[in-house]
Amino acid sequence: MLKTGVLYRYKDFLPITPQTPLFSLGEGDTPLVKCDQLAQEIGCGELYLKLEGCNPTGSFKDRGMVVAVAKALEEKSQAIMCASTGNTSASAAAYAAYCNLTAMIVVPEGKIALGKLAQAIVYGAEILTIEGNFDQALQIVRELTDKHPVTLVNSLNPHRIEGQKTASFEIIDILGDAPDYLFIPVGNAGNITAYWKGFKEYYELGKASKRPEMMGFQAEGAAPIVHGHPIEKPETVATAIRIGNPASWQQASAARDESGGLIDMVSDAEILAAQKLLATRAGVFGEPASAASLAGLVKLSRQGWDLAKKTIVCVITGTGLKDTDTALKDAPPFLQLPANVKEIEKALGWG
Ligand code: F0G
Average confidence score pLDDT of the chain: 97
- Give the pLDDT mean for 253-266: 98
Q: For residues 348 and 351, give the distance between their C-alpha atoms in angstroms, rounded to a whole number.
A: 8
Q: For residues 24 and 250, give the distance between their C-alpha atoms in angstroms, rounded to a whole number.
A: 31
Among protein residues, the one whose CA lies closest to atom 10 of ligand 1:
187
Residue 341: per-residue pLDDT: 97
Read off φ and ψ for residue 68, nearest 5 degrees. -60, -40
Among 85, 104, 128, 217, name the best residue to mutate to test ligand 1's pocket (greatest count of ligand atoms within 8 A of Cβ). 85
Residue 2: per-residue pLDDT: 64
SS3 169: helix
Determine the distance separating the centroid of ligand 1 and the alpha carbon of 342, expressed in angstroms: 49
Asked which of 2-6, 239-243, 335-339 is least confident by mean pLDDT, the reply is 2-6
Give just the sign of the alpha carbon dihedral 50, 56, 61, 64.
Answer: negative
Q: Is the pLDDT of residue 183 over 70?
A: yes
Give percent of the chain with pLDDT exceeding 90: 97
Q: Which residue type does 165 have?
A: K
- Give the pLDDT mean for 214-223: 98
Q: Which atom of ligand 1 is nearest to the CA of 84?
A: 19
Number of Cβ within a 10 Å radius of residue 173:
16
Burial of 33 (0-12, 13-18, 19+ CB in 10 A): middle
Q: Which residue type does 106 have?
A: V
Q: Enumerate residues lining ligand 1, CB below 6 A.
A: 59, 61, 84-88, 155, 185-191, 240-241, 287, 289-290, 317-318
Determine the distance separating the centroid of ligand 1 and the alpha carbon of 350, expressed in angstroms: 47
Q: Is the pLDDT of residue 185 over 70?
A: yes
Q: Is the pLDDT of residue 149 over 60?
A: yes
Is the model's pTM score more than 0.85? yes
Determine the distance separating the centroid of ligand 1 and the alpha carbon of 201, expressed in angstroms: 23
- Give the pLDDT mean for 130-157: 98
Q: Which atom of ligand 1 is nearest to the CA of 155?
A: 13
Among 155, 191, 192, 214, name the best residue to mutate to test ligand 1's pocket (greatest count of ligand atoms within 8 A of Cβ). 191
Determine the distance separating the centroid of ligand 1 and the alpha carbon of 210, expressed in angstroms: 26
Q: For residues 317 and 185, give the distance between their C-alpha atoms in angstroms, rounded to a whole number.
A: 8
Among protein residues, the one whose CA lies closest to atom 3 of ligand 1:
318
Determine the distance separating the centroid of ligand 1 and the alpha carbon of 2, expressed in angstroms: 28
Instruction: Tell which residue, 58, 70, 151, has the closest CA to residue 105.
Output: 151
Q: For residues 273 and 298, give the distance between their C-alpha atoms in angstroms, rounded to a whole number.
A: 10
Q: For residues 299 and 303, give the distance between their C-alpha atoms in angstroms, rounded to a whole number.
A: 6
Write the CA distances from 340 to 310, 334, 346, 349, integer angstroms: 52, 17, 10, 14
Residue 3: per-residue pLDDT: 79
Query: pLDDT tens-digit profile of 55-84?
Result: 999 999 999 999 999 999 999 999 999 999
Burial of 143 (0-12, 13-18, 19+ CB in 10 A): exposed
Write the CA distances from 220 to 86, 140, 199, 295, integer angstroms: 20, 26, 27, 12
Q: Which residue type does 223 have?
A: A
Q: Which atom of ligand 1 is nearest to the CA of 91?
A: 20
Among 87, 183, 263, 321, name the best residue to mutate to test ligand 1's pocket (greatest count of ligand atoms within 8 A of Cβ). 87
Q: Which atom of ligand 1 is nearest to the CA of 154?
A: 19
Residue 114: per-residue pLDDT: 96
- Give the pLDDT mean for 141-154: 98
Residue 209: per-residue pLDDT: 98
Q: Which atom of ligand 1 is nearest to the CA of 190?
A: 13
SS3 56: coil
For every residue of 324-345, DSSP letters joined together read: HHHHHTTPPP-----S-HHHHH
Cβ-contact 111, 133 below 8 angstroms: yes
- Give the pLDDT mean for 325-331: 93
Reported as half-sphere exposure (CB side, CA atoms, 13 A), residue 3 has a value of 0
